[in-house]
Structure 1
Amino acid sequence: MREGEPGACLACGLADGSVPLPGGTLARTAHWTVEHCVGPLGVGTAVVKPLRHVTGVHELTPAEAAELGPLLRRVSAAVRTAVDGCEQVYVCLWSHAGRVPGHVHFVVQPARTADLDRHGAYGPALQTALFAEGTPPDPEAVVEACARLRRELAERRA
C-alpha cells in the first residue's frame, strides 16, 4: 500500500521494507524501530516508532511502553554524539498525516548551530522553518550519518 490509498501507512512501509528507507534501519528492539527521518528536518534526525501500527501513546502495550523511555534516551545520546554542531536534541511525538491520526513516531532531532543561526529560530519554530524550506537531506550525507548513528547506538546497547 502507498500513501493516499485506503489503509496506506508510510511509516509501516518504511519499517517493513516495502518503501525504500535511505540509510536503512538503525536499530530494532522487540517492539520499536529506529530510522533516519525521511523529511526535511536535517541530516542526523532519527525517528523512533513502534513496529505495530499505533496511532497514540495510549494504545501502547505495557511491553512497548517499558521499552520506550530507555530507547529514546539511547537514541538521543547517539544523535548528540554523532551529529557535528549539535547544541541540543529535540524529542517530540508526531502522529498526524493530513489531519488524520497516523502511525505514532518520535522525532529525535539534532538542533545544530548552523540551522539555529540560518533560520534565527529554535524549538518548534525551527522545525516549522525547516519544513517551510522543504530541503530534503543529501542522500549520501544521510548514509554517512546513519553509519555514525548505528555505531553510537551499538555502543549504547542496553
Structure 2
Amino acid sequence: MPAESACLSCAQDTQDPTRHPENWIASDKHWRISHAVGAAVAGWLVLVPRRHVVTIADLTDEEAAALGTWQVRLSRALHAVTGCAKTYVVQFAERPGFAHVHFHIVPRADGLPEQFQGPRVFALLGKPDQPAIASAEVTRVSAALHAHLQSPPVPATS
C-alpha cells in the first residue's frame, strides 16, 4: 500500500478552492471534485475523497453516503450543462501515484463513436492522439457545473 506522502491525490488536496480555479468544481468535508486534466471530453470529472483511502471498503459510512449523493448530483449537472446522453462512473485507482480511491464521472455524448464507449472511453484521457480540450473550455465547463451545483436540487422524475 503506498504511503500517503507518495499519493499524488493527497498532494493535490486543499481546503482552498482557488488553488486550481481552472478546473475546480466543488467540495465538501469528505469529497472534492475537479475537471480531469488532459481529457479530450469536456466535463470529465474526478471525484476524490479528501482523506487518504485506497479501497472503497475503507470509506466511512458518512463518506459513502456523500459519495452516492455526489455521483447523482454530478451526473445530473453534467446532463444539464453538457447535454450528454448518459454518464459513466468508473473507479479503478491502479495507476502509480493514484492508488487513492477516486471516481471518474464522464459525460457520454450521444453519437460517441463505439471505439470510445464503455471502458474504452479512457482512450480519451491523457493520450497524445486525442488532444485535450482547451483550457478555456475546461474553465467554462467547470464554472457552469459549479454554478449549476449551487442552485437548489431538482428531484428526478420517474
TM range (shorter): 0.7 to 0.9
Work out the CA distance in 2 between the residues paired with 1:156 and 1:80.
16
Residue aligned with 1:82, SS: helix
2:147 maps to 1:148: no
User: Where do 1:45-84 residues align within 5 Å?
Assistant: 45-84=44-83
Residue 7 of structure 1 aligns to which amino acid in structure 2?
S
Change (3 A) 1:13 1:21: farther
Q: Give a deviation string over 1:57-100, Cα, whole Å, max 9, x none.
A: 0111121112111111001111111114x1111111131123x7
Work out the CA distance in 2 between the residues paired with 1:48 and 1:101.
13
1:44 Cα deviation from its structure 2 partner: 0.7
**1:48 and 1:106 in contact (8 A); partners too:** yes
Q: Which runs of 5+ in 1 are unaligned?
A: 1-5
The percent identity for this pair of structures is 29
Count matched residues. 148
Change (3 A) 1:24 1:66: same
Give me the TM-score of the superposition, normalised by structure 1. Answer: 0.79
Counterpart in 1 of 2:117?
A: 122
**2:36 and 2:45 in contact (8 A); partners too:** yes
Q: Which structure has greater strand proportion?
A: 1
Residue aligned with 1:90, SS: strand
Give me the TM-score of the superposition, normalised by structure 2. Answer: 0.79
Change (3 A) 1:96 1:112: same
Counterpart in 2 of 1:3?
A: none
Residue 26 of structure 2 aligns to which amino acid in structure 1?
A
**1:22 and 1:36 in contact (8 A); partners too:** no
Runs of 4+ in 1 over 6 A off after TM superposition: none
